[in-house]
Homo-oligomer: A and B are copies of this chain.
């Protein structure tokens, strides 16, 4: 095994070899295999935003098999989705690439003031589908976060004991956080720390904006002269906030947008020491050829070739 992968596994000393095995599967998969970097395809927008809005821009994406094929053909590290999407391809694509069962989900048919995700899968389901791990979303700062954290605690304990990875989507929300604050540097760093302290093996946060939400954090940053101007600077602080780089943190791609904008962001993540990306809409809402080209370019950037 590549030294870089060995090194990453060494950070997870409290986990059993089963969990390390699954982590190694992700880190050795696809075009980035062995580099210590990851690109994951997540497709939970069917639940999160509805199918019409999510898949009409690229109708083949209505078909669950499309996403398995896309992730495989693009040479990605893993594919993450809710129960149904995984069940619809797990036999056909068994053994082709690591799967992550997204265990909680939230539809947006109600505009809840206090967002909350429902548990829609289980560790048993992850095992029977041959998944490498479970995925779970927490909403730090939200009114219902306590219940969310406690469900994660129980699911993560069970998953770890079965040798599964725990991937946490950490999305700050709620009355105490401004809209801009949801991607503030201090808040993103905080979100990464919370997931790491909950025992997440892989953490997904949004790329941090050049903005600081909390007064106390701002004072501390200024006093320490923490550089925050470039995305790389800010990514570096988020990575530092996840156990000084000893937890795998990857960044979401957000809404579909111009390619150049995507590449620029990926370069910032790479230069700041981010471990990779989780790219959904920017992949499956483009047509197949475009998506494959974009993902290939993203991978090249992480390989330092571009």
Contact = CB atoms under 8 A, between A and B. Distances in A.
A146 B116 contact: yes
A-B complex: 4 closest residue pairs judged by Cβ atoms: A24-B95, A21-B130, A13-B91, A109-B141
A46 B240 CA distance: 12
Interface in A72-131: 82-92, 94-96, 105, 107, 109-112, 116-122, 124-125, 127-131
Interface string A129-154: 11100000000111101110110011
Given A175-B110, A190-B51, A214-B53, A22 B62 contact: no
A46 B197 contact: yes
A143 B110 contact: yes
Interface in A30-48: 46-47
Given A62-B244, A127-B162, A145-B118, A107 B17 contact: no
B130 A20 contact: yes
Interface in A226-259: 226, 237, 240-241, 243-244, 246-247
Interface residues of A, number: 117
Nearest to A84: B197
A17 B130 contact: yes
Copies in the complex: 5
Q: Which of A15, A150, A193 has the most C-beta atoms of chain B within 10 angstroms of its own C-beta?
A: A193
B20 A91 contact: yes
A262 interface: no
Contacts of A199: 83-84, 87, 120
Contacts of A5: 95
Given A56-B224, A193-B46, A110 B142 contact: yes
B52 A197 contact: no
A163 B127 contact: yes
B14 A95 contact: no
A288 interface: no
B18 A129 contact: yes
A27 B143 CA distance: 40
Contacts of A154: 122
A196 interface: yes
Nearest to A66: B244
